[in-house]
Amino acid sequence: MARVISVEAERFPIAGTFTISRGSKTEAEVITCTIRENGHVGRGECVPYKRYGETMDGVRDAIEAMRERIAGGMDRTALLSAMAGGAARNAVDCALWDLEAKISGIPVADAMHSAPLSSLETAYTLSLAEPEAMAAQARANAMRPLLKVKIGGDNDMARIRAVTEAAPQGRIILDANEGWTDENIEANLAFAAQHGIALVEQPLPAGHDEILRRIAHPVPICADESVHETKDLGSLVGLYDAVNIKLDKTGGLTEALVLRDRARDLGFGIMVGCMVGTSLAMAPAVLLAQGADFVDLDGPLLLARDRQPGLVYKGSLVSPPDRVLWG
């Protein structure tokens, strides 16, 4: 029996507003790919990202263009060469992983040959705002062990001071989303180090970060927008100390596993992150993130409504996915 593929655009409201240096949004817009075969169903979710030239319609069309090949039995290996990396391939790849697990009865976790799964401590993201408002966000979440703080404006030192004073016990990641410049990065890094920041994520625009090779790194620096697939890693050696792996950038779990292992071989620290999506998007990333140095899979915590059933979060601990959800 041939496979049947469906592609659906869905929207999930965000609890409040999610703001980074490039703008704000109030809902998560996702594309869900569902592949059915002989009574078995596999699903994958992706989040089209404007920064990478993606749109909801464009991602849907890219998946639709693969309809005949997917229906004809295309596997994940063939998918890597048939589709470019990015959100569209992620949805299809994760749906194929899920479908394979449902057909074989072998959980994805076992197919990956990973050690027994454990719950993970995820960062919780604070949106970019004025220092006083960010301090209030930090104070309200001061019990969480790891906070990810969106910065990238003209007043970042005040923001850093505000959140570290409001949440003095937690570890803090700063995410500038390419919002710093060659002129302020050294002072900002030094100030971050003085305030005990654990990691600084993508301080400079991708492709305009050569200064990172010449300046001190008093706080480890993590690539995000600068790294998508395994082929990107070579150029980042000497610039960054860690890489943020996101399935919507790698184009799925298949490539993400290769990227993770190669990054480790090259000496990079590993962060596994996400776009703002539902538990369906986070589920494969939880498997990828086992053993990572930093985990940022809080997408469902930022939503007013998640899928049901979803991942189980207890505070900042996220449990591995139930197979009813994915895998």
Residues 55 and 186 grouped into a single domain: no
DSSP code per residue over 83-137: S-SSHHHHHHHHHHHHHHHHHH---HHHHTTPPPP--EE--EEE----HHHHHHH
Interval 110-149: pLDDT, tens: 988 767 899 999 999 999 999 999 999 999 999 999 999 9
- Residue 46 belongs to domain with CATH number: 3.30.390.10
CA 47, 19, 204: angle at the middle one, nearest 5?
85
Which parts of the chain sit beneath pLDDT 70? Answer: 1, 114
Please tell me whether residues 98 and 139 are part of one structural domain: no
Residue 144 CA to residue 301 CA, distance in Å, equals 13
Residues 170 and 210 in one domain: yes
- CA nearest neighbour of 323 among 46, 40, 131: 40
Is residue 234 domain-shared with residue 195, that is, in the same domain? yes
Assigned domain for 45 exists: yes
The DSSP bridge pattern shows strands 171-175 and 199-201 to be: parallel
Provide the number of structural domains found in the chain.
2
Residue 190 sits in the same domain as residue 280: yes
What pLDDT shows up at residue 98?
98
Is 93 found in the same domain as 45? Answer: yes
CATH number at residue 230: 3.20.20.120
Cβ 144 vs Cβ 315: under 8 Å: yes
Whether 198 and 61 map to the same domain: the answer is no
Over the stretch 51-100, which tens digit does the pLDDT of each residue have?
999 999 999 999 999 999 999 999 999 999 999 999 999 999 999 999 99
3 state DSSP class of 285: helix
Whether 92 and 170 map to the same domain: the answer is no
- What is the value of pTM for the model shown? 0.96
> Which residue segment(s) compose the domain that 217 sits in?
120-318
Name the CA radius of gyration of the chain, rounded. 19
247 and 145, same structural domain? yes
Q: Encoding tokens for residue 298?
A: 């809080």
Burial class (CB in 10 A: 0-12, 13-18, 19+), 105: exposed
Assess if residue 161 is contained within a domain: yes
